[in-house]
Structure 1
Amino acid sequence: MSAQHKIGSGFGHDSTADDVLAGIDLTGKLAIVTGGYSGLGLETSKALAGAGAHVVVPARRPDAAREVLAGIAEVDELDLGDLDSVRSFADRFLASGRSIDIVIDNAAIMACPETRVGPGWEAQFATNHLGHFALVNRLWPAIAADGGARVVSVSSSAHRRSDIRWDDLEFRLGYDKWEAYGQAKTANVLFAVQLDALGKDSGVRAFALHPGGILTPLQRHLPREEMVGYGWIDEDGNPTGAGFKSPEQGAATQVWAATSPQLAELGGVFCEDCEVAEVSEDGPTGVRPYAIDPAAAQRLWTVSARLTGVDAFGLG
């Protein structure tokens, strides 16, 4: 029987990161939050640090991150679109001899113009998925060191826009920025499914999630007229409401997935609104079946290991 069903968490759309952390003491825990210096990542870093965790933020713009996170988190350099940068960060961290209790793969790019990175990879798939895949695999010795760790893959409702395009992962046959984002977000879910299957015997559980609609710097690539057309903002650039969450509410589900004792016996599930989501074939909420398919998750892992040359489990 699938674990992909609501559990009655008691939290919901309006819950904040601080709400879900009430009564949880993270003293002595170490959390890594990619992109943890702006938008949802910043609120996540602040909430985890406020609960006592030592937060490490690997950042593409480390100077900007240090300015924002002074007194809140440790900052290091990492560009997820550059596998050499991923390796360098992981090597530096592993050399510190510390174990990891929480990894939140939060950093992302969205709906950008066609961009190629590395050996010509489509940038959204490369940054949002392959970079995090390589990062977690390289950090695996520290993640599995003490057992009880959680890895949280921040996906999106946009996973409903596209399954994995197995015959054209890199959009060589024509680029669509939203389909590319959707594929990357589906990859984020499948990554959590397979990582959980591989890691649970070591005490490591993985989760994926949709944080909700939030206006953050993630929208940096979208023209104002496009966001007006979607009804997200008015002609003056002001948010229209439109069901959006605040950043504090948007960070809640990833913080809940990373820390909640309600999920102690679960893993490999997709969450939204601080709750395990239901499977949905075509509805406006829930997770699509293709995004949690174990065979697809295993296939994507094999492909990702081949592309990145990294696989902590030796399965690629």
Structure 2
Amino acid sequence: MAAQDQAPIGSGFHAKSSAADVVRGVDLSGRNVIVTGGYSGIGLETVRALASAGARVTVPARRAGVAAEALAPVAGEIEIASMDLGDVASVRKFADDYLETGRDLDILINNAGIMATPFGRVGKGWETQFGTNHLGHMALALKLAPALQAAEGARVVALSSTGHIRSDVIWDDPHYTARPYDKWEAYGQAKSANALFALGVDLLGREVGVRAFSVHPGGIFTPLQRHLTDEEMAALGWKNADGTIPPAVQAMFKTPEQGASTTVWAATSPQLAGKGGVYCEDCDIARMAGPDSQRWEHAREWIADDARAQRLWDMSEKMLADA
């Protein structure tokens, strides 16, 4: 990716634009969409916005019953299927079932994720956050590649985060086999991997009509924080000691509908035609971080590196080949 590509384009939207604002006037009739984690938090609002624009949305869910209840009030054509990102066999079964329908896939949104979890392993001994957030989604995209190519203009959107600033991929020990586990470093690694995965998809896919973007949705209180105590969130500055939210945080944080807006913009905006591989925030392409960048904004250099994207791709393919 050329460095100049990682620069705002003046989308006309802003940090507090909603998903409904972004999708207004966009017609997705006849388009097929998959949204992982599309039944809570910003995923639910993403599904709501895309379905309102006419898309047929499939939501793979680890808890299909919970998903059905959450999505019941949402208008539009929505399907729910069983899938667990931590179980590659279930990911591949979901993808195979989708391919058997014969549908193209216009938009794949890798929205589901976990954050700052206690140490654990999934798959072939993979660290839980890296395995779920990155490897599970990569397995899904690889299996769905024929449907994405058939759409002739598909987009893949990977949910990254400002968390990527905490850590590059830990190239020599991504699964914490030799180093002490740090849940925030592990989360940062996973979010950097999500961004590099999108860059990798774009590098490989642009010649066959598949473009990809990574997005930072913004600060939002959602079930993503379920592994954090109020004390931990107070230490991070997100809450006061009594559990209330400081006014400055209330002003900066977004609602789930606002948090879904950058995802929806990356998935649908005609302003991004001919572009890809970039990290987006606040409904625009983020700029590269500089000396004046705050700790919660802009793209760090390690997620905008083609060589790193290729290295992660090769490393991840080997991990998945054994799964």
TM-score between the two structures when normalised by the length of structure 1: 0.96
**Aligned-partner Cα distance in 1 for 2:36–2:290:** 31
Which residue of 2 is the match for residue 265 of structure 1?
A: 274
Q: Which of 179, 183, 186 lines up with 2:192 in the alignment?
A: 186
Question: How far apart are 1:191 and its partner, in Å?
Answer: 0.5
**Aligned-partner Cα distance in 1 for 2:16–2:50:** 18
Secondary structure, counterpart of 1:237 in structure 2: coil
**Aligned-partner Cα distance in 2 for 1:53–1:234:** 41
Q: Which of 7, 23, 26 lines up with 1:24 in the alignment?
A: 26
Q: Which of 47, 62, 76 lines up with 2:81 in the alignment?
A: 76
The answer to whether the 8 A contact 1:104-1:153 is kept is: yes
Which residue of 1 is the match for residue 220 of structure 2?
A: 214
Question: How far apart are 1:67 and its partner, in Å?
Answer: 1.0
Q: Percent identity?
A: 57
**Aligned-partner Cα distance in 2 for 1:47–1:164:** 32
**Aligned-partner Cα distance in 1 for 2:214–2:269:** 14
| Superposition map of 1:22-61 within 5 A | 22-61=24-63
Secondary structure, counterpart of 2:59 in structure 1: strand
Q: Which of 256, 277, 294 lines up with 1:247 in the alignment?
A: 256
Q: Which structure 1 residue ranges, 4+ long, deviate > 6 Å from structure 2?
A: none
**Deviating more after overlay: 277-286 vs 159-168:** 277-286
Letter in 1 for 2:195: V
| Superposition map of 1:287-306 within 5 A | 287-306=299-318
CA shift digits 1:271-303 (9 cap, x unpaired): 000000111156222100111100000000000
Runs of 5+ unmatched residues, structure 1: 311-316
Which residue of 2 is the match for residue 313 of structure 1?
A: none
Question: How far apart are 1:240 and its partner, in Å?
Answer: 3.0
The answer to whether the 8 A contact 1:207-1:269 is kept is: yes
Letter in 2 for 1:277: A
**Aligned-partner Cα distance in 1 for 2:216–2:195:** 10
**Aligned-partner Cα distance in 2 for 1:207–1:225:** 34
The answer to whether the 8 A contact 1:213-1:244 is kept is: yes
Matched, 1:100 2:105: yes
Secondary structure, counterpart of 1:191 in structure 2: helix
Q: Which of 67, 87, 97 lines up with 2:69 in the alignment?
A: 67
Question: How far apart are 1:235 and its partner, in Å?
Answer: 4.2
**Deviating more after overlay: 53-62 vs 237-246:** 237-246
Question: How far apart are 1:232 and its partner, in Å?
Answer: 1.6
TM-score between the two structures when normalised by the length of structure 2: 0.94
Aligned residue pairs total 311
Q: Which of 7, 11, 29 lines up with 2:9 in the alignment?
A: 7
**Aligned-partner Cα distance in 1 for 2:289–2:277:** 16
CA shift digits 1:154-204 (9 cap, x unpaired): 000010000111111111211000000000000001001110011011111
The answer to whether the 8 A contact 1:281-1:289 is kept is: no
CA shift digits 1:218-242 (9 cap, x unpaired): 0000011111222322345343341
Which residue of 2 is the match for residue 91 of structure 1?
A: 96
CA shift digits 1:126-151 (9 cap, x unpaired): 00000000000001111111211000
Matched, 1:232 2:241: no
**Aligned-partner Cα distance in 1 for 2:102–2:69:** 26
Matched, 1:278 2:283: no
**Deviating more after overlay: 163-172 vs 124-133:** 163-172
Secondary structure, counterpart of 1:179 in structure 2: helix
**Aligned-partner Cα distance in 2 for 1:247–1:105:** 16
**Aligned-partner Cα distance in 2 for 1:60–1:236:** 34
**Aligned-partner Cα distance in 2 for 1:161–1:121:** 20
Which residue of 2 is the match for residue 121 of structure 1?
A: 126
**Aligned-partner Cα distance in 2 for 1:232–1:182:** 18
Letter in 2 for 1:254: T
Which residue of 2 is the match for residue 138 of structure 1?
A: 143
Letter in 2 for 1:197: L
Which residue of 1 is the match for residue 163 of structure 2?
A: 158
Letter in 2 for 1:290: W
**Aligned-partner Cα distance in 1 for 2:231–2:81:** 36
Q: Which of 218, 223, 226 lines up with 2:229 in the alignment?
A: 223
Question: How far apart are 1:120 and its partner, in Å?
Answer: 1.3
Secondary structure, counterpart of 2:203 in structure 1: helix
**Aligned-partner Cα distance in 1 for 2:246–2:95:** 41
Letter in 2 for 1:293: D
Runs of 5+ unmatched residues, structure 2: none
